[in-house]
A = this chain, B = another copy of it.
Amino acid sequence: MRILIRGAAVVPKPEEGVLSADVVVEGKRFAGVFPTGEAGGEFDRVIEGEGKLLVPGFVNAHTHLPMTLFRGLAEDLALREWLEERIWPAERKLTPEVVYWFALLGLVEMIRTGTTAFADMYFFMEEVGKAVEEAGLRALLSYGIIAPTPDRIEPELKKAEAFAREWNGAAEGRIRCALSPHAPYTCGPEVWKEAVRLAKELKLPLHTHLCETRHEVEAHREAYGKGPVQWLEELGAFAVPVIAAHCVWVTEKDIDILAAHNVSVAHCPSSNLKLASGIAPVWAMVKGGVNVAIGTDGAASNNTLDMVREMRLAALLAKVRAEDPRAMPAPEALKSATQRGAAALGWAKDLGAIEEGHLADCVLLDLGAAHFAPGHDPLADLVYTACGADVEMVMVGGEILMEGRELQTLDEEKIVARCRELARKFR
């Protein structure tokens, strides 16, 4: 299969700005980027790119897909009440069927807003895996290990391991697995050590929550005499690739540690605001050499899975946090939403740019809307002005998941109807 995307405004990489180009896709990969009109040969498909912006697919570096079920269920509550009295009890009623359908619902949203790859941590992950397989996205999946008492350690680790062994490399390599001790405050040293051992054996990354709230960091310091970042470093957790979600309450020294070990941070701005966790020092991390990706977190605390919106918020918040309007300029924000996310998920060499040899994960946005006029700077327009609904075409590994805003792999109407029905018993 040879596809030509003709004459779009293309952002091959954020740092290269925007150029008018023909992009050729062969099989799963980009076969080349040429000046408009210069891509030669025969094509099975031609996608008209004129008046459109072609960018690498967005990578959502931290989410809990099936939590679309809880969107709007428990709003505007204090964190403890929200989690302990509403979300956790609701989660105990989850079934594989429910997880499957709400994972599909989340995937519909992701495709519609241009996400092509994501890192997900939850329960009943086989169901999430099945949903991802059908939808056609790329994902790093993991079972979330929560072991607050010693008796939970072995069964939780077993579940996580079994899922990872079965699903790593599934869907022709679109699905990869991670190991996910949920957080330093829900998993003790024994879990972390065994997870790291397993990660080394199976060559998998870790995906966890880190320094999300001030309370959690203070409690950790009280219990262990050091902060969670230093604690994990000393446990050897950073000897394998790690995605650390949130990192709101990190110190300068923490930032040095994260950078030194190539830990990827999944910055989740909406969720951190909504739960009043704080504002992560994103620009200090980027300048300190940390690979800062962006995530939506689950839809219960966002309340969407829209990476376009999240990218804008990340760019805006970084400025106020750094007290500098030059912080996190548009190309850096786009990099965090694409390239850095790809690196976080373990696809650094294959994803995050539109260039020959890279996997063909890309998104076409319609620049015709009034909010894209007058168009002085399409890259800034993408970061500060665009919304998820501007996404028109989504491609993952050369497969078209949406075209002309019509989903190609999922039955949206059926999924929405089924989810509305299943949700009733959770109210």
**A residues bordering B, Cβ < 8 Å?**
68-73, 75-79, 82, 102, 105, 108-109, 112, 270, 272-279, 299, 302-306, 309, 313, 316-317, 319-320, 322-327, 329-330, 368-371, 373-378, 380-381, 384-385, 387-390, 412, 415-416, 419-420, 422-423, 426-427
Contact = CB atoms under 8 A, between A and B. Distances in A.
A102 B324 CA distance: 29
Contacts of A371: 109, 112, 304-306
Contact of A73 (B77, B303, B319, B377): B377
Number of copies: 2
B276 A376 contact: no
B320 A68 contact: no
Contact of A370 (B69, B105, B330, B426): B105
A276 to B, nearest CB: 4
Contact of A373 (B377, B384, B419): B419
A374 B319 contact: no
A369 to B, nearest CB: 8
A350 to B, nearest CB: 28
23 contacts: A68-B373, A68-B374, A71-B376, A72-B377, A72-B380, A72-B384, A73-B376, A77-B325, A78-B324, A79-B325, A102-B374, A105-B374, A273-B316, A273-B319, A276-B325, A304-B384, A305-B371, A306-B387, A370-B416, A374-B420, A375-B420, A389-B389, A389-B390
A325 B416 contact: no
Contacts of A273: 316-317, 319-320
B387 A387 contact: yes
Contact of A385 (B71, B272, B324): B71
A21 to B, nearest CB: 20
Give the most central of A105, A329, A380, A422: most B CB within 10 Å.
A380
Given A75-B380, A380-B72, A419-B374, A272 B325 contact: no
Contact of A325 (B82, B368, B387, B388): B82
A320 B276 contact: yes
A240 to B, nearest CB: 32
Give the most central of A72, A303, A326: most B CB within 10 Å.
A72
Contacts of A76: 325-326, 329-330, 380
A370 B109 contact: yes
A387 B77 contact: no
